[in-house]
Each structure stands twice: as C-alpha cells, then as structure tokens.
Structure 1
Amino acid sequence: MLATPGTLPAGSDIFFEVKWDGMRLLADVADGRLRLDDRGGRDVTALFPELSGLTRLAPDVLLDGEVVLLDGGVPSFAALTDRMHEPVDPRVAQARPVTYMVFDVLRLYGVPLLERPMGERRATLERLDLDVVANLSLSPRYTDGPALLDVTRERGMAGVVAKRGDGTYRPGVRSPDWVVTTHLRTVACAVGGWRPERGAADRVGSLLVGLPGATGLRFVGSVDVAHAGPVAQRVLHGRLVATPIAPFTAGLSRALSAGVRWCEPTTIVEVAHGGRAPGGRLRDAAFRGIRDDLHPADLPADVPDDVPDAAPWGRSPDRPADRRGGGS
C-alpha cells in the first residue's frame, strides 16, 4: 500500500510517523525462511544478509517496512544506494548494517491481517518481541503531526506520513488512508541518454531523463552523476542499452542533444529537484540513486500545462510515438 501526497490531515483517529528515506521492503517469513521483496516484487534477500535474524521473530509473519542506512543519526538515501543493486558479503554488511524500520504487520501465524484496522495491526505489531532481532526497529508513532513535521524539517529528514487508525491495508493501492507530506521534492524518471564524463570517457558524466507525456517520453532535464560511487557507475554501464534513436518525443532541442549517447528508456533513477521551470524542466536536478524497484510503467504521466506535447526536432508529428516511447 502506498501513501497519497498531500497536506497533513487532522482527526482523533490519525497518527503520524516519520517518512524514512530508505528502501521499501516486505519481509516474509514462512517455514522459518526469510524472503525480502522490494515494491516491484524483486527478491532482494541477498542484498541485506544482516536481516537474516528476522526468522527469529515468528515462524510465520509478513512485515511491511523500510530499510534505512543511518548517517549521523539521520537516514541517508545516498549512503544506501550502493546496497540496492548487488549481493553483499555478510561481513561487509555487518561492518555498516542497515536497519529495518517496520511499521506494519500483514500476516501472523498464518492469519491474514489486511482487513484488520490499522490500529489493530499496529497493536499486534507492538506485541511482538522485536528486541530479539538485531537491526530491527519499530517505527515510532506520534499524535502531533505538525510538531513532527517541524522536527523532521529541522533535522533534514524526508517528511511525515499520516495514517488513519480505522484504515485497512490495500496492496498496490495509493490509498487516501495514508497521506505523505515531504520536505524534499523527488521524482522517479526514465533515462533516455547519457554523456561521458569530461576527460574520462569510461565514466557516465550526466544522464538525460524524462517522464511519460502524451506522445511518449518527454525530456525533463539533465542530471550530473560524475560523482556517483563506483557501484552506481558500474550498474549504469551495465543497464544503459544503446539505441541509435533518441527515445524522447518532446522537450529536447537539437543543441541539448549534442554528444549524447542514446539508450533504451528502461533504467529508472530518482532525482531531487527544486521545482519545475516553464516547459516542465526540473530545476536544480540532483541524482539520488538508481531505482531497481521501479519500472517504466510505474512512472506517472507528466505533461506540463504551459507547453504542448509536440513532436521534437527531427521527428515528424505523425511518426508512431510508441516506437521508442517511455517503455511503459
């Protein structure tokens, strides 16, 4: 279940949690064996061997939560990105372990809890002996949403999630029973091209990213990745499949295309930004990481109101837009 963006609601049956800046995971323990799935359904158990102790919590349980990596006591998405793509040696993981911030329980001892109210599921979660598992923490809940919003802003955290106590759990749905208010503006985009780093042709220097428009993939900006770590560079080189045709159907000028190596728009990255400029371009775009848990079909349609989604240079308006569209 996903949260709906919005302002914090008020009400006696609403409680508030920190929005953890991490990776959403379902932890499924059955017959004493653990499987960790990201929100796209990918098995990522091998990425987080330090969470193997979740099997001690109960022989049969399904948890919802978020993996975070703390940096100075605050979750750091940037610090977590190198753990999202490749299996890691358990000794390396234990040297700087992640924490699984659990906030929901969806099944316990074979009994499905999806139709139980959030308040009841939370009470069930709190009755479990979470202390028996290293690297597991219960996401705290609060009653004063505005105060929590102020604290998270002051500490540079992502934001706050408000949850209705009587709400049920609806898998795969962006539910109004959960409302998220964030301080940091981010968007997941598809990569349609890249430029090599200046003076280092074997490294990716910047990415050209887009969002689905009315006729295909609309260019929304260029993101510097020259300072991305070695894991991100290696993953990008392995994922960016070359294509001779620009996948963008709108928003990209001939000047911006100079020196670009086009690629299939199947790799998704998360981008922080300072809002949208006229024409839909992202202001102050900054690379946050590769999103293996998202697919092109997960990206929302995004057509700026102030610019028609017209064909770009070099492509006739009647050319089929889905030939190299957003991959969705």
Structure 2
Amino acid sequence: MQPMLATPGALPDGPEWVFEVKWDGMRLLADVADGRVRLASRTERDVTASFPELAELTRLAPDVLLDGEVVLLEGGVPSFPALLERLHGPALPRTVQARPVTYMVFDVLRLYGVPLLDRPFEERRATLERLDLAAVPALSLSPTYSDGRALFEATLERGMEGVVAKRRDGVYRPGRRGPGWTKVTHRQTQVCVVGGWRPERAGPGRIGSLLLGVPDAAGLRFAGRVGSGLAGETTQRVLRDRLVEAEQPPFAERLPRPDGAGAHWCEPQTVVEVAHTGWTEGGRLRQPVFRGVRDDLDPDHVRQEA
C-alpha cells in the first residue's frame, strides 16, 4: 500500500479542519503482523533494516498498520540530511544509539485485522490515541492543533517545514492526493533524477555539480544543475557509489553548452532532493541547493511539484 498524499494549497480555515506539523522526514507505513514489523517507504520499498529502533512497534498490538514520518532530531528540529545518511549504509548499533530516530505517527489504517481506511480521520485519530504509544521509546504521537495560522507562524519561527491541514471527516485514500489533506510549506523542494555531473575544477574526480531532470511525457526534461551542498565527503562518496556512467545524455533535449560542457553522463536511476526558490519560465530550478540522495524513491515516481 502507498500512503495518502497531501495536496499543496492555501491554508484552510474552519472547525472542520485540524492541523499538524509537516515533519521534515521520511514517510513510512509501519505494518505489524505475526510478531514482526515491516517499514515501507512512499514507493513501497522495504527500509526496515535502516531503522532497527522501530522493531519495538510490535508492543503496540499484534496486528496494526500505522502511517507516520520518521525524523532525526538535531537541537529539537528535524534534520533531513542527517536522516538520509541512515539510508546509505548499515544501521550500526553505535550509530543507532548515538543518533536514534523518532517515528512521528499520525494515523492508524488497520487494527486487529479491521481496515479503518473508510472511517473519518477524527475516528481514526481517536483509535490511534487509545493505543499504548508510550510502550515504544522511539514512537511519538504527532500533535494536532485547532489554530492553523498560529501553527504555521510557529513552524516558520523554528525553521520547520510547514503545516498539514486535515479534514475531520476525511477518509484515507492510499496513494492519492485529495481535498482532505492540504500541505502548506515555508520552502520549496523538488525530487529530481540525476542525468549527469560536472567535475570540480579544483578537485580531480570530485563532483562539482549535478545535472538534474524531471520526467514528463517527452522523457527526462532538463531542470537545471545544482552545485551548492555537494562539498561534504559523505555526499561525494554516496554519489560516486550510485552514479552509473552512460555513453549518451539521458535528457530529452540538447542541453545548453554552459550546462553540458565537460559533463559526465550517467544512467537516470539516482533520485536526489533539492531545495529551491521557484521555477524560471524556461522550466529551470531557481537557486537549487542539494539536500540528499533519496534512496527511498524510484525515478518512476518523480514528478514536478506544484
């Protein structure tokens, strides 16, 4: 099952809505059955081995399906780049102990074999709150608020991602966006497919910038290049491990010479996330900054965000 998605839009108002923090983490469905837990990403990829501290979710109930977001807190604020590092290698015990994740749970979709997808959100939330969530140290209930505007301003002050508004009477529609959930963010992000890279001038073999693309009906459309955020040694190593050389550029159009000159082409199979300030009229990302490799996403699921 794929999780339900929020639709970008303006912050709604009215008693029919409740509001939550939009956590800067990774969306996970946690499926507990037969004494085991399976953690699945947005694209249904099994990421259980990356988060061993969530194995204790089996304490909640013998059969339960949860929806939430796993975050790694730094100074009380989620750090998305730090979280992605957990996906790039085995979760060593010392790493888990030093930097544990928290699963911010906000929905329950099945309990004791009974599907809850068609129940109103308010009823699902009440069911979730009746579970013994304190039994799992790595689990935290995502709070809800009635004042969306105040929450939006508070998340801005704390440097957090934004707010999700949910209708109290809304049902759960797996893998779909709908009017029942609305997201309002303080910054824009975009997942892209890497189609090539250009080397640093001062560092032989080091990646200086990535050539990014977003698939559409015509193929892989060039979306610009990103250089900011690539300097770290961990980032360089992770990218070198994943970028597979290709003889020809994978983009649907010929790249402008300032972008394509000296480029090394690669197979369009690595997904990365960037922050940006918008799109140009020519379909290029404005001021993109690299945030991390998204091993939890497949190229087929990349689309331009509104």
Provide the TM-score with structure 2 as the length reference.
0.94
Q: Which stretch has the larger CA shift, 49-58 or 141-150?
A: 49-58
Q: Secondary structure at the match of 1:52?
A: helix
Partner of 1:208: 211
| Paired AA for residue 51 in structure 1 | L
Show the counterpart of 1:295.
Answer: 298
Following superposition, the deviation at residue 174 of structure 1 comes to 1.2
Which structure 2 residue ranges, 5 or more long, are not aligned?
none
Taking the aligned partners of 2:28 and 2:271, their CA distance within structure 1 comes to 18
Q: Is the 8 A contact 1:211 1:302 kept in 2?
A: no
Aligned residues: 302
**Residues 202-222 of structure 1: per-residue CA shift (max 9 Å, x gap):** 432221101124532221211
Distance 1:198 1:70 in 2: 35
Match of 2:189 in 1: 186
Cα deviation, residue 302, structure 1 = 8.3
Equivalent residue runs for 1:1-328 within 5 Å: 1-224=4-227, 225-230=229-234, 232-250=235-253, 252-300=255-303
Q: Shift of residue 69 of structure 1?
A: 0.7
Report the aligned-residue RMSD. 1.7
Relative distance call for 1:251 and 1:103 in structure 2 (3 A) is farther
Deviations 1:38-96 (A, max 9, x none): 11111111101111111111111110000001111111112212012322112320111
Q: CA deviation at 1:107?
A: 0.8
Query: Identity of paired residues, percent?
Result: 65
**Aligned equivalents of 1:138, 1:102: Cα separation in 2:** 5
Kept after mapping to 2: 8 A contact 1:20/1:68? yes
Q: Is the 8 A contact 1:203 1:226 kept in 2?
A: no
Gaps of 5+ in 1: 304-328
Q: Which moved more, 1:279-288 or 1:212-221?
A: 212-221
Q: Secondary structure at the match of 2:211?
A: strand
- Paired letter, 2:231: H
Note closer, same or farther for the CA distance 1:281–1:251 as it changes in structure 2 (3 Å cut). farther
- C-alpha distance in 1 between matches for 2:85 and 2:147: 35
So what's the TM-score if we normalise by structure 1?
A: 0.88
Query: Alpha-carbon deviation of 1:5?
Result: 0.4
Q: Distance between the aligned counterparts of 1:189 and 1:144, measured in 2? A: 34
Bigger Cα Rg = 1
When residues 143 and 301 of structure 1 are mapped into structure 2, their CA distance, relative to the original with a 3 A threshold, is closer
> What is the letter of the counterpart of residue 142 of structure 2?
S
3-state SS in 2 of match to 1:137: strand
